Structure 1
Amino acid sequence: MFNLIFRFVLGLVFMAAFVFSISAQDSVKYIDKTKKGESDINGLITGDSVKGLLIKVQKEPAPKLIPAVDIINVNYSSTAIGSIELKSALGKEIRANLPATKEAERLKLYEEAVKDISALLPIVKADVRLSKYLNFRIAKIKADLAKIKPEILPDALKSLNTVRLDNPDSWMTLNAFKIEADLQEFKGDFDAALKLYQGVSRLPGLPPEIKTDSDFLILKLFMRTNRMAEAEAKLNEVEKAIPQDDPRRVQVLLVKSQANLLNDKLETLEVDLNNVVALSVENYIRGKALNLLGDYYLKKNKPTDAFWEFLKVDTLYNQDVDEHAKALYNLSILFDKVKNDPIRSRQATDKLLESTYSKTEYQKKVSSDK
């Protein structure tokens, strides 16, 4: 009888241990380039550096590296807090970022997320990796919140800087650099943004492909601020660094096209920009190319053709604020000029005057045109 009870209890212990080992796994959501979409991987995180996260999957012989640039979210298993409580706090940020969420609701969810996650910090203090990750998520949310409430910009930038200092060699380091640089761009401090992007390339142990990614971010910054001489110099550097079959070569063609437009070298421009649109998978790149096509058609005195390119940006590729502002500005003119539709023209103007576009040159431009 005793042996039966002992075996039963021992079985329960092993079962509990088995269930715990399954449920208490780390997980990483990341961009899977092989599948051209998002994937999840579960296992035990065994390494963290600027290269990314190493995660050991059961029955696999070696840990898998998830590159830092591809990581979307991480779920660190912890005995300090229940997964339901943790997911509840982090879930508010996810809900806030859904495309259908209205700005007022997004603002509320961001503020609640910061409050709820901050309340967890004392509870998970002993769990260093989860504590650091939650501080990173708070800084990330504050950055998004600052774009709605610019008055908290200093606090958001301070939080991101703290994350970088506390994590000198982590996947979060690279992401904190990029988010902080993006926020400096939003603030209008392009020199500060440039220094941060340049700081990425000086991170110890940085893989060559991530160094190239940081160079592309610098290149995009030069493009967005029309610093074409510096963009072309960086372009030459990047062009030498990436192989011929690298999909980022489409960005090289985009920069060359922009330079050719500025220098009135228009012979192959239409074909080149249409190739950029066809080959790129990034909405920002497509939007930029379509706006440049609009500029090209205006130079060729083809306002109707230009109208359709700007309209594509407005309706399909409006994710980048600056490119959308440029399209709206041109539509505020072309709806009236091409379509004889002053109402739609006024609507484009009103849209451009919204707070979302307050940092763009085109809002200033449309205001001065009134």
Structure 2
Amino acid sequence: MIKIVTVSSKKELASFIDFPHDLYEHDPNYVPELFIAQRDLLTIHPFHKHNTVQPFLAYEGDKIIGRIAAILNNAHNKFNNANDGFFGFFDCIDNKEVAAILFKTAADWLKQKGIAGKFIGPVNFSTNEPCGLLVEGFDSPPFLMQTYNAPYYADLIDGLGFVKNVDLIAWHWDDKSYDDKSVRLLNALEERLKRSNIVIRTINLKKFKEEAEKLREVYNSAWDHNEGFVPLSDDEFDYLAKDLKLILDPDFALVAEQEGKIVAFGLALPNYNEIFQKIKRGRLLPTGIFKLLFGRKKIQSLRIYALGVIEGYRKMGIEACLYGTIIKEYKRKGMKQAEAGWTLEHNDMVNRAIEAINGNPYKKYRLYEKQI
């Protein structure tokens, strides 16, 4: 007998967060999310000020066998003039009946909220956060802020009548596979940009709040035509920036600036999943905090997290300068692996540029949809 529990208490929320640790206990590629980060995401994140998230757990007896969250994203619906609902945080044993009950529960909750459009996911909570179901590339752990799931998930979701909305591509390099043409041309490219009064510099951490305000405008402008994009509110961007500041390496946090106006930025992050994979059940206490503190300088991989240029400044060489500077620092620090992504499968301009520097499309994530 399968029982669905609507998560409402702290204890139920902890069980919701912890379920994947048990499900993937013997999977060598699984990386636990930090408990405190997941708890805050599901409770105090600014997303909740204007939107609603309802987690559910599936039980068989006293054993948890699945989880899902129904997500009412009012910002998405307003921005896109839509009436869609979303699902996220989906994890489940390999059982079609359990999956069907979880998805029906989430869909019914959304219908009660007046949703009558598409049912889209997985997103945690939107494409601004980790999203997509891994459908290719199960032979290595995910990089920082990327999703992970077992191969059978796709069969479960396909079997419920969902179809592909869009695929998201992650690109990989090892320490010898990248093309360093952009590094060799870096000085010439920077000189050309200077003639337009554009300079590439690192983010000023001493004035981080001021920098973040300018970056928010670039972020919401540079990605506004991306599928599923929803502009971040001021509070949401500040929350994201505050989190990223804790883990960023200033050498990989770059902006392109023209006479005080930031027109582009590129951000690559040390792949903290190398450390998180060793922190049991995502708990920093009592010993996880020491693994985090002492492991930071040993990280050997990098995720190119975001690179955006606002309209009117594209195809000037700014993208190549940002990539070139990141590659130069990656090489100088002796790192071993890098990932860029994700990118939309049909973003030909960006994908061709990544292919040109020998990026290998090694993982694919899928967003699904169906009529609710």
**Structure 2 length normalisation: TM-score?**
0.27
Instruction: Name the structure with the higher strand share.
Output: 2
Q: Which has the bigger relative contact order, CA under 8 A and spacing at least 6? A: 2
Instruction: Name the structure with the higher helix share.
Output: 1
* Structure of greater Rg: 1
